[in-house]
Structure 1
Amino acid sequence: MEKRIFTEIPFVIDLEVLNERMKLRNNKRMLETLEELIKQAEAVAKPKAIYIEALIQELKEDYITIGETQFNSKNLAENVKGVDMVFPYIITSGVEVEALTKEMDDLLDQFLFDGIKTEILLCATDFISQDIKNKYGYEEITYEIPGSLEGWDMLEQKKLFALFGDVEGDIGVKLSDSNIMYPGKSVSGIYFRKVE
């Protein structure tokens, strides 16, 4: 399985987009604070990602096998029918921007900065999905995430992480015993070509 690691993904944080997305309603004080926080984030943020190209070894009614790892989910198995290759991934806004959050005591700052980190993560996921589409010539791809898909248990996230080896060493993301990812603005799952 080929592993691709990205350690400095480009991103753009647009003040007006965040104003709309976070429903700030052009509040002057909030926008001034948000603008200052965006500058702080832009100075340190290094969103990262890792994904692998993997063949589906076995596809049954209620599981798929990637390499030697079996992922148990009837819905996942149903959704990847007609697909031979999948792309397990982990994407994060990065430990650098997460570290800034720890220095904030003001609740408004924390709220606004959470929106900034979400925006960075969205940029990173867009970048990775576009990379996969470009590299493999896919028009559309989709994804599934452990814990968000009915019938694909969050516990399966441990199996997903195990596919990559040293995830923390590669991109700084670690998984707790209760399957919570750190940094908090991180996502994992499986991308695959969208079949009509």
Structure 2
Amino acid sequence: MKVLQDFPLPEIRPYIDWSPFFMTWELKGKYPKIFDDALVGEEAKKIYDDANALMDQVIADGSLKANAAYAFWPAASDGDDVILYTDESRSTELSRFHFLRQQWERKGQKDYRSLADYIAPVDSGRQDYIGGFVVTAGIGADELAKKFREELDDYKAIMVQAVADRFAEAFAELLHERARKDWGFGQNEGLDKDELISEKYRGIRPAAGYPACPDHTEKRTLFDLLDAENNTGVELTSSYAMYPGAAVSGLYFGHPESRYFTVDRMTKDQIEAYAKRKGKPLSEIEKWLSPNLAYEPE
């Protein structure tokens, strides 16, 4: 495991994808072309400059801090589960991630994906791995935003959160680049920052609660494996949201054919089997996966 605390924000800054930043302010357009937009270009340039001024400030005074933890584990798939082992002997199970499988046919699609498909099966004889990470750039963000609100500067209070979010996402990008190099296959990528933002690299980093892995409760397993609360300062709320909000977590898959997908709607038989695999009551699983159910729970 690698733990990075108080990571230098200037090293993270070049990895920022600015396009989502403008959506925070309800301005449509991609960076940097948005600056040339006749309707929103001038306003977009102003908030961009304000954001960079605030970044300069938080770097100078240390009011925002970035922490991260990531690791790799020997792993093998067992159906739609991924087994993590304690060491390279692969004789003792450490933990499991539980995944779900697509059930609905899509145009041009010939298979039904599960994230477990991107890890070698337990009986394959291949030695495979899975990684996981938690990053934040939001340590101190709430305190700084509160300070601005007390000064009746709501604009800067909102800007703090927007800037922290951009740093956090950029830190996740930077960390993934490091992880691929640690893994071995990322040593000779030679990608520039635009290519990184466009995900031209091998592998994916899906997050629990998102389309390929819609069950938020899987975050608990990841946080326990990384001792994330102690190593990063990020906590999980009762609803499995991350606090502070400027945080990103997920898993690293290195399979060359891995890509993002949407699990979408699932029938009761899969949900029942999933509940059994997780050792949880069906009603609890149905609660967390309610947007994905293709049936009405009893």
Please classify the TM superposition score into its range, dividing by the shorter chain length: 0.7 to 0.9
Q: CA deviation at 1:61?
A: 2.2
Residue 156 of structure 1 is aligned with which of 218, 229, 232? Answer: 218
| Counterpart-to-counterpart distance in 1, 2:19 and 2:204 | 28
- More deviation in 124-133 or 66-75? 66-75
8 Å contact from structure 1 (residues 142, 191) kept in 2: yes
Alignment of 1:62-101 (within 5 A): 62-67=80-85, 68-74=94-100, 75-81=114-120, 84-101=128-145
Give secondary structure in 2 for the equivalent of 1:177.
coil
8 Å contact from structure 2 (residues 82, 116) kept in 1: yes
Residue type at the aligned position of 2:3:
I
Q: CA deviation at 1:66?
A: 1.5
Which runs of 5 or more structure 2 residues have no equivalent in the other structure?
A: 28-39, 86-93, 101-113, 122-126, 187-201, 258-298
Q: CA deviation at 1:73?
A: 0.6
Mapped pair 1:25 → 2:69: no
Residue type at the aligned position of 1:70:
R
Q: CA deviation at 1:79?
A: 3.3
Q: CA deviation at 1:148?
A: 0.4
TM-score (norm 2): 0.56
Q: CA deviation at 1:100?
A: 1.4
Mapped pair 1:55 → 2:74: yes
Quote the sequence identity (%).
20
Give the corresponding residue for 1:103: 147
Q: CA deviation at 1:147?
A: 0.7
TM-score (norm 1): 0.82
Q: Which has the higher contact order (CA 8 A, sep 6+)?
A: 1
Mapped pair 1:195 → 2:256: yes
Cα-to-partner distance string for 1:97-147 (whole Å, 9 max, x where unaligned): 443123232432233223211221122112211111222222422112111
8 Å contact from structure 2 (residues 138, 245) kept in 1: no
8 Å contact from structure 1 (residues 19, 26) kept in 2: no
Question: Residues 119, 155 of structure 1: CA spacing in aligned structure 2 closer, same or farther, 3 A cutoff?
Answer: same
Give the corresponding residue for 1:12: 13
Give the corresponding residue for 1:186: 247
Residue type at the aligned position of 2:140:
E
Larger C-alpha radius of gyration, 1 or 2? 2
Give secondary structure in 1 for the equivalent of 2:83.
strand
Give secondary structure in 2 for the equivalent of 1:26.
helix
Give secondary structure in 2 for the equivalent of 1:146.
coil
Which runs of 5 or more structure 1 residues have no equivalent in the other structure?
A: none
Q: CA deviation at 1:5?
A: 0.5
Question: Residues 179, 61 of structure 1: CA spacing in aligned structure 2 closer, same or farther, 3 A cutoff?
Answer: same
**RMSD (CA atoms):** 2.7
Tell me the matched-pair count. Answer: 191
Give the corresponding residue for 2:191: none
